[in-house]
Amino acid sequence: MADAGVVLSRPGCIALEEIRVEPPGPGEVLVRIEATGVCHSDLHVIEENGWGHPFPVLLGHEGAGTVEAIGDGVDGLAAGDRVVLGWKAACGTCSKCREGQPRQCRKPPAAPGRLFRGEDELTPVLRTGTFATRTVVPAVAAAKVPRELPVEQACLIGCAVATGVMSVLETAKVWAGARVAVIGCGAVGLSAIQGARIAGASEIRAIDVDPRKAEQARRYGATHTEPGPVDFVFDVVGRRATFEEALRMIATNGTVVLIGLSPSGEKAEVDLPALFGRRARILVSHGGDHLPGDFPRLAQWAIDGQLDLAAMVTRTAPLADWSAAFDAMRAGDVIRTVLLP
Ligand SMILES: [Zn+2]
Ligand SMILES: [Zn+2]
C-alpha cells in the first residue's frame, strides 16, 4: 500500500497526499505511525507560513508507532518495538552537548531526508513528520516505550506531555510545597498541572479564558481556578494578555516560565520596578528541555496512573480528518484530537 501524509505545499495549501518513504540509512529508523496528536505547533507552522520549514512540509510532530526497519549501526531498537518520536533529541557534538548539557543542545539531529512527494523532498515538521503512514527519523529521536500504554495515549508523550511535565520538573524545577499557576488548560497546560502535582505543589491554579476548561483541570490536580500569588507561573499560551497576567501573579522570588509559541510580532509590557522589587525570574521553556530519554519514565507514570492521559484524548479520527481536527482545536472544543494513520 502506498504511503500517505498531510502536506503543506505552500502557505494555505494543505492536502492528504501520496508520499514516498525511502529505507532508513545508517543510524536511522523507519517507523509506522499508529497515532499522532494534533498540536498547536502544527497550527503555528500553518499560520506562520511554514515557520521556517522549507516547502513542501510534512505536518505532525507528536507521534507514536512501531519500528519497521532499522539502519546500520542502530543499537537498542529493533523492528517491532513500540516507540514515541521526539523532536528534541541531542546531537552529541555541539558545545552544549560537549559541556554535558544535552537538554540545551543547540542543534538537534536533522531529519534524514527520506521523505518525498514525487521528486520533491519533504521537510518534516520539527524533524519528525508524523501526519503520515510512515516516517524516518534519526534513531536517537525514537524512544522505546511499553506496549501496555495505548498508542493514542503514548503519542501525547512526544510533545504535550513531555513539554508540560518537564517544564515543571526540569526547566523550572518546582519544589514540593510550591504554589503554582498554569495559564492555558489545553494538553500542554494539563500536563504542566499534572507535573506540578507530581512535584508536590501545595497549590495549583488553573487559569483559562474558558471557565469550563479551568474547571475540568481539577481532575488533573488543579486546586483553584482563579489567579492568586504563586511561586511559579507557566504561560502555556504566549500572548500579551497571558504573559502580563503571569507577571502580575508571581510572588517575591517567583518565576515566570514562557512555554507557548507567540505569533510573530507579539509583545508584552513589563513593569520593571515591580519585576525588580519581586526579584522575579523569567525562563523560556523549549519543550520543557526534554529529551527522548525521558519518554520511558513518562510512559511508566502513565501506566502506573500517576499521569492521566486517557482523558486528554478527547477524540480519535482517521488521518483524512486532519482538517476537522484543526477546526476543533481552533474552536477550543478538544483537549487533543489524535489521528490514527
Ligand atoms: Zn507540539
Ligand atoms: Zn548538541
**Predicted confidence (pLDDT) per residue in 291-331, tens digit:** 999 999 999 999 999 999 999 999 999 999 999 999 999 99
pLDDT digits (tens, 9 = 90+) for 122-174: 999 999 999 999 999 999 999 999 999 999 999 999 999 999 999 999 999 99
| CA 158–ligand 1 middle distance (angstroms) | 8
Residue for grid cell 554535558 = 100
Average pLDDT over residues 163-188: 98
Question: What's the whole-model pTM score?
Answer: 0.97
Question: In a 3-state reduction of DSSP, which class is residue 130?
Answer: coil
| CA 9–ligand 1 middle distance (angstroms) | 20
Enumerate the domain spans of the chain.
Answer: 3-159+289-340, 173-284
pLDDT digits (tens, 9 = 90+) for 69-108: 999 999 999 999 999 999 999 999 999 999 999 999 999 9
DSSP H or E run through 273: helix 272-277
pLDDT digits (tens, 9 = 90+) for 196-221: 999 999 999 999 999 999 999 999 99
CATH number of 173-284: 3.40.50.720
Q: What angle do CA 5, 62, 158 make, to 5 degrees?
A: 150
Q: What angle do CA 256, 262, 268 make, to 5 degrees?
A: 60
Residue 332's pLDDT is: 87
| CA 44–ligand 1 middle distance (angstroms) | 10
Tell me, what amino acid is at 75? D
Question: In a 3-state reduction of DSSP, which class is residue 79?
Answer: coil
Find the ligand nearest to 93 CA: 2
| CA 75–ligand 2 middle distance (angstroms) | 19
What number of H helices and E strands is found in the chain? 10, 18
Does this chain's domain 3-159+289-340 share its CATH topology with 173-284?
no
Residue 333's pLDDT is: 85
The architecture in CATH of the region 3-159+289-340 reads Alpha-Beta Complex (3.90)
129 grid coordinates: 513528520
Q: Report d(CA 143, CA 64) in Å as an integer.
A: 9
Residue for grid cell 534524514 = 112
